[in-house]
Amino acid sequence: MKNYYIYNNEKFTKKPLKEIAEYAFNKKENIWSARISSGLFGLTNCKAGNRGPKKYNEIILGIGNEGLNKIIDLGFITCPVCKPEKTANFWEIIKYKVNEKYNINTLENFTDKNILNFDARRIKWEEILPIINNVPNRIYIPKNLSKKEIKDFKNRFLKTGFKIPAIGYYSPNVSERFTKYDIHFD
């Protein structure tokens, strides 16, 4: 049985997906799925979310408005494939949190990847890692970062006490769709 970390009633707990789905169904709430390797979140049936190598513990879930706000607070942005922003009242639910966090005032700007780009450095690793007690296989950060930027992120990771996963960027033309930053440090 696959257990998932889910945020509900102000805390994360680990629960079987079936139980989470039944609970959300009974409460008529949405379940939001956040992928820590990419820093994207969306719907649980997202095709992009199901593609590629991932472990079930690379996903954290949130239920309803509270879960959605928590996922925003942790630094996740909308998945461009399943577009969670198309769900009812999406902007109304998150607009205060988005404004407080990014000083962004419209849904259009919040979902614009030229404004908030694909960059998993944005997510609160320091809060997430001790909860899930694991690291993803890989982390997607932007291409063409400087050595210093990559090193800063690695150092941030080291401070959490967790093992550093493969850090790299999205590469649509290679089979793995991922290119690891190959930089050596002293």
Stretch that binds Zn ion, among 7-15, 57-65, 71-79, 135-143 (CB under 5 A): 71-79
39 Cβ contact list (under 8 Å, min separation 6): 75, 76, 77, 118, 119, 120, 121, 122, 123, 140
To which residue do tokens 């440090």 refer? 185
The torsion angles phi and psi of 14, rounded to 5 degrees, stand at -105, 120
Q: Which is nearer to Zn ion, 77 or 93 (CB)?
A: 77
- Of 24, 46, 77, 123, which lies in the binding site for Zn ion, with binding defined by CB under 5 A? 46
Strands in 138-140's sheet, in edge-to-edge order, are 138-140, 166-170, 178-180
Per CB under 5 A, which region of 45-53, 60-68, 100-108, 144-152 contacts Zn ion?
A: 45-53
> Which residue in the set 81, 115, 158, 183 belongs to the binding site for Zn ion (CB under 5 A)?
81
Report the C-alpha gap between 38 and 52 in whole angstroms: 12
CB of 72 to Zn ion, least distance (A): 15
CA 69/CA 71 separation, integer angstroms: 5
Residue from 39, 42, 62, 168 touching Zn ion (CB under 5 A): that is 42
| 82: contact with Zn ion by CB under 5 A | yes
Does position 77 bind Zn ion by CB under 5 A? no
Minimum separation from the CB atom of position 100 to Zn ion (A): 24
Binding site for Zn ion (CB under 5 A): 42, 46, 48, 79, 81-82
